[in-house]
Chain A
Amino acid sequence: MRLLFLLLFFTSHAFPQICSEIIEGSVEDFHDGSKLIGATIVVVGIEKFTQTDLNGNFRLENICLGTYTLQVSHPECSTKIVQITVPYNGKLTIKLEHHLEELDQVTVKGSAGIDHVTTQLENKIGRDQLESLSFVNLGDALKLLSGVSSLNTGSTVVKPVIQGLHSSRVVIMNNGVRMQDQEWGAEHAPNVDLNSAGSISVIKGASALQYGGDAVGGIVLVEPERIIKKDSLFGKTILTGATNGRGGTLTSSITKTYKNGWYAGAQGTLKRFGDFETPNYVLSNTAMFEKDASFRFGVNKFTYGFEGYYSFFQNELGILRASHIGGADDQFRAITSNRPLVINDFTYAIDNPKQEVTHHLAKVKIFRRITNFGKLEAQYDFQFNNRLEFDVRRGGRGDKPAVDLELTTHSFTSDLSFDAHPKLKGNTGVLLRYQNNYANPETGVRRLIPDYDKLDAAIYALGKYQVNDFWTLEAGFRYDYNHIDANKFYRKSLWLSRGYDIEFSEIVVEDFGNQILTNPVFNYHNFSGTAGFSYSFLKNYKLLANYSLATRAPNPSELFSEGLHHSASRIELGDIRFTQEIANKFSVALEKKEDNFSFTLNPYLNNIQNFILLEPIGIEQTIRGNFQVWAFRQTDATLFGIDIDAFVKLDNHFSVNTKFSLVKGNDTKTNEALIQMPPANLATFFHYKNEKWKNLNISLESNYVFRQNEYPETNFELFLPSTNSFVIVDLSTPPDAYHLFHFNADADFKVLDKSVINIGLTINNILDTEYRDYLNRLRYYADDLGRNIIVRLKMNY
């Protein structure tokens, strides 16, 4: 019998003479490289077998020379057959596909659970935490991570700020698609429904070059829930009700999966709030109504797969009525009043000024694994973003939007990844994108952003090499080409006053008297790169160091802005002479990870050449009075700061974690502080959990936001006809520091034998503290939100 096996498997070789060889190796998860414990390795035919130890390693001794077949099995995995020739040099790494392993939907490198970058810090909000945040928006959720703050226009328009930078400097990836939703404007929030996400990660830098080379600030990755390869039908519904805004959220999702890899899922969210309230008054016209839905289906075999995804986002939100002001007289009145100048009774109605944004996103993705190489992926995505802004208008024009922009984007991306070598991994890819912006002329208001066509092409390569158990190196480069072809109308007076008539006379297409039509065409060649290492040392310590070069072409708003921005009550001027921003960012992270104590220290330095900022340059007299003029300017800037996270587990029930962020921004040409830098922020969370009693979780958060003491002075002097005197309009003095407390608790309750309902209670701003935030653009006009009590019901099925 034994002889038969030997004959069977040793066919091509002579009978072995020496039998003192060793086969050493490890067994790991194909997807994320995690070590598999207790995997069985059987050498077929010679009755030798062993199991992997706690580190996933195995060792087979006294093996004769020859070629063998190893049968590797694990309770949770498909059994794998591996051929090996002895003597075998080095360690053999065997990868098993987890049977129950969730499939990769999102990332180019592997499963959704792993890091996207190795040498730069990646912070993550997981599913459980997201579920408790189902009523908030993306920007507010991200604030839970250290180093992330937000730029607000009221409480409903919230943009993430990563280590001091925002808007076009933050790339937002939604299920593998780069959001193209007019992110340039300060009052344009990301069009992403938090409830469609399974996890959200923030990479505080540009090192994940597969997503873009222009992430001067960082990258936000919104990833859907992973799909399990088994026959199952599951879903959940979360219902929240909140006292502040007297509204709530209903979100539901359902997913059907099959063992053979096919799956389909649908998800929807309704969010409705009335006017929000501060401790003392109603914030009139801040109601909102949001409707979102997403669908996906696909198949995920081990060797190939396909996914189709569609998401719809629609949002109507009011902008604080008291923030809509005419000229500088109104601005002065509004700023000096300690209450908003318009306070009405609470209502769900949304009046002008308001925004209505619709975003469609569709994608198809296919991938194929290449044996002994890696994986090839291709994706096409389509996005359509329509932004309507309604203003307070004269002559019954209130129903007609003042801004009506349609942004259409088609992208094709392809990525080839290599993961066949145990230590060397890499990926390379290309991007082609076409974008069209159309400004509807029916508005009766000059186009905020001109009509344009944009073409982007990019190529990138990234590699990672694990030198040994301690050192990993990572490097990459990317080249982006941007071509913008715009049709821009300029007021003739502005065209002349900016000196464009001398420098850009060749782009004039037609003279319409007061206005001229021009055809600016820009080509940008952007190079970006990254290099870094990760070093593990002592026990549980890790040091990450990363350098990244990011290059960002100026966005349409920076190039073309020209005119009155109502919501800011100022005239904003772009400049078509701008060149790319080039950022050199150095970041270091020291991490210690242990069950009872962990911390991260993350200092960074971001040196940005040709940094584009917006600053006041003077006053302009108009028929509506005087307006401050703000112009975009290019300068050099340095941002440096530190993010600190610490976690202490006191016992099985109690734990404390704290985070601190500090960033300082400096205009190195004028040696002045940069405007709108987030103030230092210290947040501490006290947690109590009891898994044995209804899975109870209780947490109390203390959040102290310091006063921003470094800011440029942008005040201006104004003649007030009503009092016949000169006054100072104080636009720059930051508000005082504030300290807020928030409470959160949830527990599981069994209903009807099987089902579990999770009931949660959140109280934000427990003490109903009055405060204003430096990064809220409406801070001049009103306080921030008062106490909010939120009740949440979650049901899984």
Chain B
Amino acid sequence: MKILKIIALFFTVTLFLNSCSNNDNGGNPINEEELITTIRITLVTNQGPNVVLEYRDLDGDGPNAPIITSSSDLLANATYIASMVILNETESPAVDITLEIKEEDIAHQFFYQVDSGLNISNITYLDQDENGNPLGLEFSFQTGEPSVGNMTITLRHDLDKFAQGVSNGILTNAGGDTDISVTFPLGIQ
């Protein structure tokens, strides 16, 4: 009899536990908090109109390919000042990831790589982190003679900013994890 009572108690407790279990009919969709959908780079020069480059992939690691656009070609032999905006547009309103990167500037750095065929030179970081190392949300470069090619922008996270060459924008020794790695096809004319 005693045993039966114990069993009965046990069943009751577990059923009670079960009735507390969470099942909210599917709940709400979860939007990836750390998702980056959009990179918008505004290139400003005093020799002509601004150029806006945009990489947008609203389904994140879903199957849809990103949409990469540029408002126009770059002007030859010009100096451009670039500033970047990083967004998560799956949220409404869009989340400005740029602020998050600025807050964690010690742990982040952008890198820019240009195809040898594309005449872009003198890429210079215009912003620094607390330690005086480059961050790269703002940078400048000069264009040369008309040409076409790719520019790849990489954002590394938890990298070694003090490693050799890293503060000069050389990726080789940086280490860390890649948050952004996007390639823009560019034309200079």
Min Cβ gap A765→B in Å is 29
Query: What separation, in Å, do the CA atoms of A325 and B175 have in the docked complex?
Result: 10
B150 within 8 A of A: yes
CB of A497 within 8 A of CB of B63, answer yes
Beta-carbon nearest neighbor of A571 in chain B: B61
Q: Is B21 an interface residue (CB 8 A)?
A: yes
**B129 part of interface (Cβ distance < 8 Å):** no
Within 8 A of B (CB), among A611-631: 620-627
Partner pick for A330 among B27, B65, B178, CB 8 A cutoff: B178
What's the least CB distance linking B174 to chain A, in Å? 9
Confirm or deny: B33 has a beta carbon within 8 angstroms of a beta carbon on chain A. yes
Judge whether A564 and B61 touch: CB under 8 Å.
Answer: yes
Tell me if A494 and B62 are in contact (CB < 8 A): yes
CA of A571 to CA of B63, assembled, Å:
10
**B1 interface hit (Cβ, 8 Å):** no
Contacting pair B34 A395 (CB below 8 A): yes
Residues of A close to B182: CB separation below 8 A = 623
Do A620 and B59 touch (CB < 8 A)?
A: no
Known A-B contacts A438-B21, A446-B32; the reply to A487 vs B27 at CB < 8 A is yes
* A721 pairs with B113, CB closer than 8 A: yes
User: In angstroms, how far is the closest chain B Cβ from the Cβ of A281?
Assistant: 15
Given contacts A364-B10, A445-B33, are A722 and B172 in contact (CB under 8 A)? Answer: yes
Of A47-55, A128-136, A510-518, the one contacting chain B is A510-518
Besides A491-B60, A722-B154, 20 other A-B contacts (C-beta < 8 A): A299-B3, A325-B178, A330-B177, A362-B14, A380-B10, A380-B11, A384-B17, A392-B177, A397-B33, A441-B28, A451-B23, A487-B25, A489-B30, A493-B63, A494-B59, A497-B62, A519-B26, A563-B61, A622-B60, A624-B181
CB under 8 Å from chain B, chain A span 590-639? 620-627
CA distance A396 to B101 in the complex (A): 11
Report how far A492 CA is from B178 CA in the complex, Å.
Answer: 26
Closest Cβ–Cβ distance, residue A129 to chain B (whole Å): 34
In the bound complex, what is the Cα–Cα distance between A494 and B171 (angstroms)?
33
Rounded to whole Å, the gap between the CB of B181 and the closest CB of chain A is 3
B29, A623: Cβ atoms closer than 8 Å: no
List 5 tightest A-B contacts by C-beta distance, closest first.
A487-B26, A326-B178, A721-B152, A444-B33, A625-B181
Would you call A493 and B180 a contact (CB within 8 A)?
Answer: no
Kindly report which residue of chain B lies nearest to residue A360, judged by CB atoms.
B17
22 sample A-B contacts, Cβ–Cβ < 8 Å, listed by A number? A308-B6, A326-B177, A327-B178, A329-B154, A329-B178, A364-B7, A380-B7, A380-B10, A393-B34, A394-B157, A408-B17, A444-B30, A491-B62, A493-B64, A494-B62, A563-B61, A622-B57, A622-B61, A624-B178, A624-B179, A721-B150, A722-B113
Contact A447 B30 (CB under 8 A): yes
Contact between chains at B63 and A620 (CB < 8 Å): yes
Residues of A within 8 A of B6 (CB): 308, 364
State the B residues within 8 Å of A (CB).
3, 6-7, 10-11, 14, 17-18, 21-34, 36-37, 39, 55, 57-66, 90, 100, 103-104, 113, 115-116, 150, 152, 154, 157-158, 171-172, 175, 177-183
- CA gap between A392 and B60 in the complex, in Å: 18
The contact size tier of chain A is: 35 or more
A445 to B33, CA, bound (A): 7
Q: Considering the chains assembled together, what is the distance between the CA atoms of A497 and B158 in angstroms?
A: 35
Complex CA distance for A307 and B7, rounded to whole angstroms: 10
* Contact of A341 with B62 at beta-carbon distance under 8 Å, contacts A380-B10, A445-B30, A445-B32 already known: no
In angstroms, Cα B60 to Cα A620, docked, is 10
Complex contact A514–B181 (CB within 8 A): no
Distance in Å: Cβ of B17 to nearest Cβ of chain A? 8
Residue picked from A299, A487, A626, most chain B C-beta under 10 Å? A487
Task: State whether A623 touches B36 (Cβ < 8 A).
Answer: yes
Least distance between A445 CB and chain B CB atoms (Å):
6
A366 at the interface (CB under 8 A from B): yes
B63 in contact with A494 (CB, 8 Å): yes
A516 nearest CB neighbor, chain B only: B29
- Say yes or no for A702: interface residue by CB 8 A criterion: no
Residues of A within 8 A of B65 (CB): 621
Complexed CA–CA distance, A624 and B179 (Å): 5
Which of B24, B30, B115, B179 meets A443, CB within 8 Å?
Answer: B30
- Complex contact A394–B179 (CB within 8 A): yes
B31 to chain A, nearest CB (A): 8
Q: Which of B7, B26, B39, B59 contacts A491 (CB 8 A)?
A: B59
With A327-B178, A394-B179, A493-B63 in contact, is A623–B21 under 8 Å at CB? no
Interface string of A489-508 (1 = CB under 8 A from B): 10111100100000000000
CB atoms of B57 and A623 under 8 A apart = yes
Determine chain B's interface SS by DSSP, over half rule: loop
Residue of B nearest to A564 (CB): B61
CA distance A489 to B17 in the complex (A): 27
Closest chain B residue to A394, Cβ basis: B34
Partner of A325, one of B29, B59, B63, B177: B177
Least Cβ–Cβ distance between A547 and chain B, in angstroms: 39
Q: Which residues of A sit under 8 angstroms from B27, Cβ to Cβ?
A: 441, 451, 487
Let me know if A509 is at the binding interface, CB within 8 A. yes
Closest to B181 in A: A625
Q: Which residues of A contact B31 (CB under 8 A)?
A: 446, 514
Give A342 to B63 CA distance when docked, in angstroms. 31
With a cutoff of 8 Å between Cβ atoms, the chain B residues found around residue A722 in the complex are: 113, 152, 154, 171-172
Q: Measured between alpha carbons, how far is A438 from B21 in the docked complex, in Å? A: 8
Bound CA span A392–B175, Å: 15
> Are A436 and B66 also in contact (CB < 8 A) when A441-B28, A494-B59 are?
no
Across-interface contacts of B7 in A (CB, < 8 A):
364, 366, 380
Which of A382, A571, A721 neighbours the largest number of chain B CB atoms within 10 Å of its CB? A721
Q: Counting CB contacts under 8 A, is A229 at the interface?
A: no
- Per the bound structure, the CA–CA distance linking A627 and B6 in Å amounts to 55
A306 within 8 A of B: yes
Min distance, Cβ B45 to any Cβ of chain A, angstroms: 24
Give Cα A487–Cα B25 distance, bound, in whole angstroms.
Answer: 7
A residues in contact with B29, CB < 8 Å:
489, 512, 514-515, 517
Task: Given the known inter-chain contacts A364-B7, A395-B100, please indicate yes or no for A446 contacting B30, CB distance below 8 A.
Answer: yes
Is A492 in contact with B59, judged by CB distance below 8 angstroms? Answer: yes
Answer whether A408 and B11 are a contact pair too, CB < 8 Å, given A394-B104, A487-B27, A517-B26: no
Evaluate contact between A382 and B14: CB separation under 8 angstroms: yes
Cα A440 to Cα B28 with chains together (Å):
11
A71, B43: Cα distance in complex, Å? 104
Report yes or no: A623 in contact with B33, Cβ–Cβ below 8 A. Answer: no
Cα–Cα distance between A620 and B66 once the two chains are bound (Å): 10
Contacts of A366 in B (CB 8 A): 3, 7
- Which residues from B are CB-within-8-Å of A326? 157, 177-179, 181
A410 lies within 8 A of chain B by Cβ = yes
Known: A410-B14, A446-B30, A515-B29. A341 touches B175 (CB 8 A): yes
Task: Let me know if B33 and A327 touch, CB within 8 A.
Answer: no
- Take A438-B22, A446-B32, A722-B172 as given contacts and tell me if A623 and B150 are in contact as well, using a CB distance cutoff of 8 Å: no
Chain A residues whose C-beta falls within 8 Å of the C-beta of B18 in the assembled complex: 408, 410, 434, 436
Query: In this assembly, does A730 line the interface, its C-beta being within 8 Å of a C-beta of chain B?
Result: no
> Contact: B175 with A342, CB < 8 Å?
yes
Residue in chain B with minimal CB distance to A514: B90
The answer to whether residues A623 and B180 also contact, given A444-B30, A447-B30, A724-B113 and a CB cut-off of 8 A, is yes
A453 within 8 A of B: yes
What residues of B have a CB within 8 angstroms of the CB of A299 in the complex?
3
Could you say which residues of chain B place their CB within 8 Å of the CB of A571?
A: 61
- Whole-angstrom CA separation of A327 from B181 in the bound complex: 8
Q: Is the CB of A623 within 8 A of B66?
A: yes
Measured CB to CB, the closest approach of chain A to B84, in angstroms, equals 13
A-side contacts of B34, CB under 8 Å? 393-395, 397, 444-445
Q: Smallest Cβ distance from A763 to chain B, in angstroms?
A: 35
B121 to chain A, nearest CB (A): 16
Q: Which chain A residues lie closer than 8 Å to B61 at the CB level?
A: 563-564, 571, 620, 622, 627
